[in-house]
Structure 1
Amino acid sequence: MRERGLKARCSRVYIKMAKLHRFYQSIKNIRKDMPKPTAVNEQWAGDLTYIRQGNRWLYLAVVIDLYSRKVIGWSMNHRKTTAVTMASLHMAFRNRKPQAGLVFHTDRGAEYRAHEVQSLLSKYGVTPSMNRPGHCTDNAEMESFFHTLKGELIKSNHFTSEWDLRDKVAGYVQHFYNRFRLHSSLKYLSPVEYEGRAKEA
């Protein structure tokens, strides 16, 4: 390399990546100091869980609108990678088309701290918010959703294949949960009904 006048630049790449890592680690929980959302697309939340199918695990990423608890994006993958969180976010952006100013809250998992995810949020003018270290209850709405999903669907069903699991999750989320699942926090309305009432007001 020296004979050809070439120089390695690994150190600069390392420094740049280290700075990015520190930046993503420094993302704070700004949502905890915010009032509850008063309309759709003010605050979203996302998280990952795992579901067993046969002898393997599948990973489910979900995005909900905290105003109505409506599931607006979801994705499932064999691997717990950035791809599954990105896919759930792409679905949410397609479904909602939010304006800049939205806050998206998650835990501090690598799948949400990833550069690709943060770049996507920046592209849409979304401000990231993350749990405080060691405070899993900072994302209580997502924990509650997964608890409900597993109690009402996963534990009471046998999934014969991956496609059977995907089909049942899709039916639960898009049909039952969003349209018919009542929430005490929503005045005993479903997410779709709650958003509909807000539009009529």
Structure 2
Amino acid sequence: MGLRIARKRVLRLMRENALLSPHRARPRPADDHDRKIITDAPNVMWAIDGTQVATVRNSKVWLFATVEHWNAEALGWHVSKRGTRREALQAMGMAVRQQFGHLGRDAARGVQLRHDHGSCFMAEDFQNQTRAWGMTPSFAFVGEPQTNGVVERFFRTLKEQVVHGRVFETLEDLRDAVRAFIARYNAQWLIEKNGNLSPHARRRQHELAAMPMAA
């Protein structure tokens, strides 16, 4: 009959008797980024990411979103069955057109694009197209999801408000729900870093402040 012993006790005894296999901890730079991902003005840095949502008829489908780092505004989105660079570019294209009015060369010049190392974002087509729009890639650090935290926080809010506790029959049902939520989120969702203003209200405040004072 064996003895029941806590795992931590076994680990301690093995460590005291040099029975643990040697391993090398992965070194981490002391200061690999400045911990600041919020910008001081619009169109300095955007973020893009994708997530999956389950449906009854279409199984898991993809949701891509492009989010402004400055005021957390959802600029572009796309719901689709596949999750390749083409679908990711749909969300990017919506954001570029919405902010700059066209999809021509250098339309979004100067914007940094934060994304992780997912295959759809590292694909040559995605990188070439975003560079053609004048954007510069800004890669999230491997193992540090907080460096892409703006879009991750948006997905968390969306899922809490729209996805969790709800069953979507089809991809189209999810698309309708996402469209309605993003409209409400941008217009009404109060965000602390915006001074408890919605993304649209913060943008209007910024635009009014930038207008020259009438003589």
TM-score under structure 1 length normalisation: 0.79
Whether the 8 Å contact between 1:44 and 1:64 is mirrored in structure 2 is yes
Paired letter, 2:40 = T
Unaligned runs of 5+ in 1: 1-29
Q: Helix, strand or coil: the match of 1:122?
A: helix
Q: Structure 2 CA distance, aligned partners of 1:166 and 1:54? A: 14
Q: 1:167 aligns with which of 170, 176, 185?
A: 176
Q: 2:147 aligns with which of 138, 141, 166?
A: 138
Q: 1:104 aligns with which of 104, 113, 121?
A: 113
Q: Structure 1 CA distance, aligned partners of 2:197 and 2:168? A: 30
Q: 1:61 aligns with which of 60, 64, 73?
A: 64
Unaligned runs of 5+ in 2: 1-31, 101-106, 210-215
Q: 1:128 aligns with which of 111, 121, 137?
A: 137
Whether the 8 Å contact between 1:32 and 1:138 is mirrored in structure 2 is no
Count how many residue pairs are aligned between Structure 1 and Structure 2: 171
Q: Name the structure where helix makes up a greater proportion of residues.
A: 1
Q: Structure 1 CA distance, aligned partners of 2:133 and 2:61? A: 28
Q: Structure 1 CA distance, aligned partners of 2:33 and 2:138? A: 6
Once the two structures are TM-superposed, the CA of residue 158 in structure 1 deviates from its matched residue by 2.8
TM-score under structure 2 length normalisation: 0.74
Whether the 8 Å contact between 1:121 and 1:127 is mirrored in structure 2 is yes
Paired letter, 2:200 = V
1:25-104 equivalences under 5 Å are: 32=34, 36-54=38-56, 56-97=59-100, 99-104=108-113
Backbone CA RMSD of aligned residues = 1.8
Q: Larger C-alpha radius of gyration, 1 or 2?
A: 2
Percent identity between matched residues is 26
Q: Structure 2 CA distance, aligned partners of 1:172 and 1:107? A: 25
Once the two structures are TM-superposed, the CA of residue 99 in structure 1 deviates from its matched residue by 4.2
Q: Helix, strand or coil: the match of 1:60?
A: strand
